[in-house]
Structure 1
Amino acid sequence: MMNEEFTEELSITLKKVMFETPFKFVISKGKNKNNEYKKIVIEEKEKDFQVAKYSQKQVFHTNITFEEIEDILKEYLGEEFLQLNAWAEGKEFEIKISKKKKIFFTSRKSSQKKCLANMEHNRKKNYIIPDGKPVLPLIDMGVFTKEGKIVNSMYDKYRQINRFIEIIDDEIKNKDFKHLNIIDFGCGKSYLTFVVYYYLTQIRNIKVNMTGLDLKEDVIKKCNETAKRYGYDNLRFELGDINGYKADFEVDMVISLHACDTATDYALFNAINWKSKMIFSVPCCQHELNKQLKPENLSIFSRYGIISERFSALSTDLIRANLLEYIGYDTQILEFVDFSHTPKNLLIRAVRNQKKSNEKREKTLEEVKNLMKEFGFEPTLYKLLIKQR
């Protein structure tokens, strides 16, 4: 079957499935043993759908809407996987694809139902940092009372903090880390820095050497005093600029939260040069590409100010993620907090993978170059990593 015929038939078949609004999907039967993922499960949760991509040793989670599911199914079916099973109320659907890309579709009755117990569990979620136990940073932030109970008006903040810890925990929990060296660029008042230190040392029992870096002398002084008061002996804060910062130890994790504009690029550049095992970055104030935006063919993207601003911000994160992939990281862009709280709600999570194929790496770089050419972009991270080498 020709690719165009296959794509059209797959699209028609998937629409039959999606019309029934399934609550669970399982993508399986990889085409070869070298597949990056062994299977992919998409399942309805309380507010959205969770995608779980299973590799040999890990599982990677992201949250998506129902409308985004079909795109994922099209991306993987036929290319990397040959089977899809989906469950709707009272029905199960199965799509099988032969090696010659012939599609076989069946449906049958099913007694499988939405797991209401799990849905209820989500509503009463067991957070990594639970309430009921005094955690000094959270008490100082006003999130907990002195007894360790959540302050009602701060529940959203509590959820946001736990969401960030969950994103880190996804990479920590299945690895046997005994010791981690961590740098937090642009730490500011360091609320999350203290919480991360608490999580790693008190919950995961990992020995940590952690450094927070910022440009404000008074902030650094106060943070060091606070760390001493908490008894966080291996957490220190230094005055310094992200650009040109030198680490005198091997860096395992780099955190960069809301480093403004190109400061995020320098944080990522440092992490790459240090061959950091993990990177967690929440970009902020992505002005650079908005000033450069000059579409070659798609002038509509620069017609409206708010659109060009948001498009440039998304393009900035997209280019950064792809460049990290090119360098040799497995990279995801995740929702950090609900969009209703802030439009700056994306987090880049990158995990070093020395086995990434050259073909995949080169493809991600080519995508960056095509985007840059179309819109006239010349981002700082690209210049640091590619142009100046």
Structure 2
Amino acid sequence: MENVKKLLEKIIEEEKLIYGVLSKINKKSEKTFNKVSIKPVLVRNNIFVQFTYHYDKKVIHNNLNFVDTVRELHNLIHNYFRQVVLYTTDSDYQILISKKGKIKILKKPPSREKRDLSHNRKKNYILEENIPNPFLIKLGVMNKSGKIIAKKYDKFKQLNRFLEMVSDCTDYLKKDKTINIIDFGCGKSYLTFALYYYLVEKLGLDVNIIGLDLKKDVINFCNKIATELGYDKLKFVYGDIKGFNEFNSVDMVVTLHACDTATDDALVKAVKWGADIILSVPCCQHELFNKIQNPVMESMLKHGIIKEKLSSLITDSIRGNILEIMGYSVQMLEFIDMEHTPKNILIRAFKRNNIINKKAVSQYLKFKEFWNVQPYIEREMGEDLKSILQKNFKASK
């Protein structure tokens, strides 16, 4: 059965499937359907495998992603059917399972042509399909011929969405000098490599990028890949952003999925560096969950799941408000995360000037009073913010 599983994984992950039929129901199994057919379909710009379950008087369709497809096929072959015919781009396969469980795999030249679904997918990506890209190949997103690995297509789209957001920022970068960029919480660093590729390889900018993370094995892996790619101005360092002092000034700070107040530490550091661009996707926001209070909002606060979502929104609103006070223009954008995870908010901020935004100060003071909170980010921002708030608080009296 292991050979069957490997064959299925290869066919599905490399998008070679054209059509398949599972038949000859196992008499020892409880009879539910007579046969199952499978084929690739395009649903909302994503390729899925459609399973059609044929009953005596009805058919039922179910669209599965690639991981679930392999799992479901394995289940059907193991528990229900004794014959599988798979038509693929390079071969026709017939899998036969005897009553004693013995498996035989027969292989013939291909007899069908594949219907091209990829032309319907969104085009004009910054990272292009069907053009080999060394960093995507190294990270397992693309094969050597330039084809996106099926189970990595969501990651491929995420990388492009991220680079679209970056492309809107490049006018804010000072291009007459080396551009210093910090990516805190870089993880396996798909986005960090994509950022370097876009700014250096595509735009030809002089860029230094440092990826920070607290996992040493990740740092070692990423440095190895960067060396192999010849990305000599991209390096990965063990540590957190709060204690990072290698640069005196930083032009862009990226922090994606830094947990709880680690996002605040990154934002504080970015402001103190005077970063021209900040890109931040917060997560795991627990700081204000047990602190927000307002009797008027009790209908929301009494429900834990609603309070959790509300505290996240309040936290990000406070972060945006404080960045505005500190001279930034702030946007809240939707950032589509990986498959099976919710959509997140991306805070995108551009350094505007050093003029105090009195409207933002007034909004912030009223907002935190309404929720009865003293946010961590306000304390960490230090004397600069404290003096602005005190001055404007006294002026409002």
Q: Do these two structures clear the TM 0.5 threshold for a shared fold by scoring above it?
A: yes
Deviation at 1:297, TM superposition (A): 2.6
Residue 138 of structure 1 contacts residue 144 of structure 1 at CA under 8 Å; is this kept in 2?
yes
Residue number in structure 1 paired with 2:167: 169
1:239/1:124 CA distance change after superposition, 3 Å: closer
Correspondence for 1:212: 211
Decide whether aligned partners of structure 1 residues 276 and 301 sit closer, same or farther in structure 2, where only a CA change above 3 A counts.
Answer: same
Deviations 1:330-358 (A, max 9, x none): 11010110698533511010010017x54
1:259-290 CA deviation, whole Å, 9 max, x = no partner?
10000000000000000010111111011011
Superposed displacement of residue 383, structure 1: 1.5
Q: Which runs of structure 2 are paired with 1:1-40 in the superposition (5 Å)?
A: none
Structure 1 residue runs of 5 or longer lacking an equivalent are: 1-45, 48-120
The aligned counterpart of 1:383 is 379
Q: Quote how far apart the aligned CAs of 1:301 are.
A: 2.4
**Bigger shift: residues 279-288 or 143-152:** 143-152
> Matches of 1:122 and 1:174 in 2, distance apart?
34
Q: Distance in 1 between matches of 2:337 and 2:184?
A: 23
Q: Hey, what's the Cα distance between the residues in 1 that align with 2:288 and 2:242?
A: 19
Note if 1:180 corresponds to 2:179. Answer: yes
| 1:150 counterpart (144, 148, 151) | 148
State percent identity of aligned pairs: 46
Is contact 2:320–2:330 with CA below 8 Å preserved after alignment? Answer: yes
Secondary structure of the residue that 2:209 maps to in structure 1? strand
Aligned to 1:364: 360
- 2:276 corresponds to: 277
Is 1:256 the counterpart of 2:252 in the alignment? no
Offset, 1:175: 6.3
Give the root-mean-square deviation of aligned CA atoms.
2.5
Cα deviation, residue 155, structure 1: 2.4
Counterpart of 1:134 in structure 2 is: 132
Give the aligned residue type for 1:147: S
Matched-pair contact (CA < 8 Å) for 1:185–1:213: yes
Rg larger in structure: 2
| 1:146 CA drift (Å) | 1.3
The offset of 1:241, in angstroms, is 2.2
Q: Is the 8 A contact 2:131 2:145 kept in 1?
A: yes
State the Cα deviation string for residues 273-329 of structure 1 (Å, max 9, x = none): 000010111111011011212224321221111110001101111111111111011
Cα distance in 2 for residues equivalent to 1:340 and 1:318: 26
**Distance change >3 Å, CA 338–CA 213, structure 1 → 2:** closer
- Answer whether contact 1:324 1:350 (CA < 8 A) is retained: yes
TM-score normalized by the length of structure 2:
0.63
Structure 1 pair 122–205 and aligned structure 2 pair: CA distance change class (3 A): farther
TM-score by length of 1: 0.64
Does the CA contact (< 8 Å) of 2:212 and 2:237 recur in 1?
yes
What is the Cα deviation at residue 173 of structure 1? 5.5
Aligned 8 A contact 2:212 2:240 in 1: yes
Counterpart of 1:163 in structure 2: which amino acid? R
- Counterpart residue number, 2:232: 233
Shift of 1:374: 1.8
Q: Which runs of 5+ in 2 are unaligned?
A: 1-43, 46-118, 388-397
Q: Which amino acid is 2:359 matched to?
A: K
Counterpart-to-counterpart distance in 2, 1:255 and 1:233? 20
Q: What secondary structure sits across from 1:331 in the alignment? A: strand
Contact 1:127 1:162 in 2 (8 A): yes
Rounded Cα–Cα distance in structure 2 between residues aligned with 1:174 and 1:252: 9
- Answer yes or no: is the 8 Å Cα contact 1:283–1:344 preserved in 2: no
Please tell me the residue identity of whatever aligns with 1:318: S
Moved more, 378-387 or 314-323: 378-387
Aligned to 1:347: 346
What pairs up with 1:66-145 in 2 under 5 angstroms?
124-145=122-143
| 2:358 partner amino acid | E
Structure 1 partner of 2:292 = 293
- Please state how far the C-alpha of 1:174 moved relative to its aligned partner: 7.9
CA contact (8 A) 1:290 1:309 kept: yes
Quick one: distance in 1 between partners of 2:171 and 2:370?
Answer: 41
Residue identity matched to 2:222: C
- Mapped partners of 1:205, 1:353: distance in 2: 25
